[in-house]
Every structure is written in C-alpha cells, then in structure tokens.
Amino acid sequence: MLVGLNIAVLLVLIGILVKMQQKHFSFSKRVFTGLGFGILLGIAMQVIYGADSNVVAQTTDWYSIVGSGYVRLLMMIVIPLVMVSIIQSIINLEKSSELGKMSGWIIGILVATAMVAAVVGIGSSLAFDLNADQIEAGQAEQERGSFMEERLADVEGMSTPQKILQFIPANPFLDMTGDRATSTIAVVIFSAFIGIAVLGVRRKNPEQASVFIKGINAIYTVVMRIVTLVLRLTPFGIMGLMANTVAQTNVGGIMELGKFVMASYVALLVMFLLHLSLIALSGLNPLTYLKKVLPVLGFAFTSRSSAGTIPLNISAQKNSLGVDEGTANMSASFGATIGQNGCAGIYPAMLAVMIAPTVGIDPLSPGFLIQLILLVGISSFGVAGVGGGATFAALIVLSSMNLPVYLAGLLISVEPLIDMGRTALNVNGAMTSGTLTSRILGKFNYEMFNDKGAIDKDIAV
C-alpha cells in the first residue's frame, strides 16, 4: 500500500515534468526541476520511513526503473556514439596531422589537471588534518577493505608498460561490450585507426572512400537522433536517481565521517574553480560557461557515471559551448577514462596522505609528495568511467606506494555521496579540456558560446 502510494507520487511528478515540456520550458529549467523533485522526494521518504526500511528498499527498486533505466539507455548509446563520432571527426579533417594536435592537447590538459588535482587533494587532507587512524572500522568497512585487497590482485603485478598495453584493443568487438575498464579508450583507438585508414584511402581511391564516408555520415545522423531521443528523458532520469540517492543515504555515516566529506568537497570546489580560471584565462566568460554546463554536471552528479554522461557532454560542447565537433567527440570520450580530476586525481591523493602516517611515513616529505603526484598522473590513464573507477585508481596509487589498501574501505558509508561530486568534476574536466583545445586550435565558435539561447533545439522540445 505504502509502496504504491510512493509510486503514485513519482508518477504525479513525472506528469508535471511532461506538462513543463509541453509548455516549452527550457531544458535547463526542466533538469533542475527534476533534480529538486528528486531531492524533496528522497528527503520525504528518509523522514517518513527511514533509510533502512523495507518500504524504502521496495520503493527505490521501482524508482530505479526511471533513474537507473535512464542511465542504462545512455550506456546503450555510448559505444556506438563514441565509435561513429571519432570516425566521422577524423574523416572530416583536412590533414591527419590535425588529429595528433587535437589528441595531444586534450590528453595533455586532462593529465596535467589530474596532477594539479592531486596537489589540491593533498592540500585539503593536510588542512583538515585527516588521518586514517581516526576512523573506526565496522563490519561493512572491513568487508570493503577485504574487497579492495582482492581487487589489488588484478593490478598489483602489472608494470606501467603493461598497464599502458591494456589500452590497445586485441579484440575491439569484445571492448564494444564494455568488458574491460579500458574498453572505451580501446574503442577510441580502434575508431581512430579506421578514420586514419579512410584518410589514406581518400588520397588513393577517392570514389571508394566517398561511399564509406556517405555511409558513416548516414549512420552518424541516425545515432545522433537516438542520442536526442534519450537525452529528452534527462529530467525524469535525474529525478529518479536523486530520489533514490537521498532516500538511501546513511546520515549516521555522514556525521561520523563528516570531516572527510567536508575536506573532499572543499578540494572538489577548489579544483572546479581552477577549471573556471582556465576558461577565464583563455578569454572566455566563466559564468557563461558555467550556465551552459550546469545541466550536464547535474546529471553527472546524480548518475555517478562519467561514461554515461558522454552523450550529454558532446551535445553541450557542440550545441551550447561552441566547441567544434571533432574536439567535442574526442574530449568527451577521452575524458571518461583519462585524467579524471576527481576519481583519479583528488581521491587517491587524499587517501595516500591519510594512510601514510599509519605506516610511519611523513606525508609532508618531498620524496613522498613528488612520487604521489607523478603516480597520479600515470594512473589517471584508463580509469573506468563508471562507478568504481575511483577505487581502481586508488588501488593503483596506494599499491604503487606500498601503502595498505584495506584502510580505504573505512570510507564506504560516505563513498556514494563523495562520488557524486567527483563525477561532476571529472565531466567538467573533460568539457574544460574540449573548450580549451578548440580555442587553442582556432576552431572555437565564439558566437555560439556568447549566445545565451544556444542549445540543442531537439533536446529542448
């Protein structure tokens, strides 16, 4: 009875969002209305039933059809979108050398900002005097620690060259299933080879290349139409995701680890401001940028999936920010697995500084800090763009520095809350790299960036 009532409330709120769409409210307003509805609905369930009640568990199962269902639809189109977008971007280049410049700038900015994020994470840990000894471990935390030690076996024996080798696709069709943490980057590499091969064919057999290019352009048009149809569901998906997140949040755990949560969000905010500073230094208005990326960041925050945000990321860069198509496709794809500022930058650095004193290491020693920052830069390649990527990055960094990984399990109760902010920062880092690269290469559309109404018209309907 109570579960049915909760479902009815969700359906009423969905109806309100549908009415807003019919009355042509802007896409941003609908997204943030959905976000607000989700927060209020989650708080109501938390207060009335309690986070651990059976009613909440059953209700969130039904709400997942809306929230997690939307994420699944986005994940459904990620690989086709990445593959076709990369191929189409390359075959539209005048010279293959342009691909090298574009990729170099995007990856360079992503990795450089990840290393800066590590410095920010270190500073925040030291400023808040975080120490893993201060946290008590319960059964759930101990189980999480054991799980992380088991995961360590997957990466502990791998050298840096072997980790880099994981990016190269041995079976691209297997990677299209998302089988590995580096599957997205492997698909990007495979797609790049196809695009470069077409450029070579175009020079020698232009007629055959023309047939292939027409086919790719047709497929791209269809895929982008699918993307548009899915993205129209964003306000509903965000509402379902946020309602579930808030309803199931362990308030007691947050209070117990409040110091770490606060330190994490201070670091995330500082890094976000640094992103805006880079936008400002490039000659663009950071407030205009912020207004245009907020809907994307809102979804990243609630979904906790950098990979799932790729379609929204590409759409916003192309249709709102004025980034050229090739750079938007590349930066969104690379940014989902390389140089994630939150998951691969701030988080492992904070854990390392917290855990170091427990084994007698001075976290302020120059040797420790330099090693940590360099390892963050190296390990920021190939972090999975879905939930759990931060754990993978932490395993690599902590094991490489001979620090006990099980202590990271102490943060399990607040992990989802912090992961929301980390994912939003990851996605903003990808969008920042695309904006800066497009600006550097002289392909940026200033008129679109300064147009306050510039948005994907199909999605806005």
- Over residues 387-392, mean pLDDT: 60
pLDDT in tens, 133-170: 655 444 444 444 454 555 455 555 556 676 667 777 88
Q: pLDDT value at position 141?
A: 45
What are the C-alpha distances in Å from 251 to residues 67, 192, 391?
22, 46, 22
Distance CA 409, CA 141 (A): 5
- Over residues 328-337, mean pLDDT: 86
Q: How many CB atoms lie within 10 A of CB 377?
A: 18
Q: Determine the 3-state secondary structure of 308 from DSSP.
A: coil
Mean pLDDT over all residues of the chain? 82
Per mean pLDDT, which of 161-170, 177-186, 325-334, 447-456 is the most reliable? 325-334
Backbone angle region of 418, left / alpha / beta, with phi > 0 → left and psi within -120 to 50 → alpha: alpha
Q: pLDDT value at position 134?
A: 57
Q: pLDDT value at position 95?
A: 64
Is the pLDDT at 104 greater than 70? The verdict is: yes
pLDDT in tens, 165-195: 777 788 888 888 776 766 777 887 888 889 8
Confidence of residue 408 (pLDDT cuts 50, 70, 90): low
Q: What token pair was written down for 344?
A: 């691969």
pLDDT in tens, 238-277: 899 888 888 887 666 566 577 888 999 999 999 999 999 9
Q: Determine the 3-state secondary structure of 361 from DSSP.
A: coil
Q: What token pair was written down for 292?
A: 């245009």
Going by C-alpha positions, the residue among 363, 325, 432 that lies closest to residue 106 is: 432
Q: Angle at CA 371, nearest 5°, toward 366 and 372?
A: 100
Per mean pLDDT, which of 210-219, 339-348, 421-430 is the most reliable? 421-430
Confidence of residue 337 (pLDDT cuts 50, 70, 90): confident
Distance CA 311, CA 85 (A): 11
Q: Of the ranges 17-26, 50-59, 92-101, 277-286, which one carries the lowest mean pLDDT score?
A: 92-101
Distance CA 100, CA 95 (A): 10
Q: Mind listing the domains of the chain with CATH numbers?
A: 2-460 (1.10.3860.10)
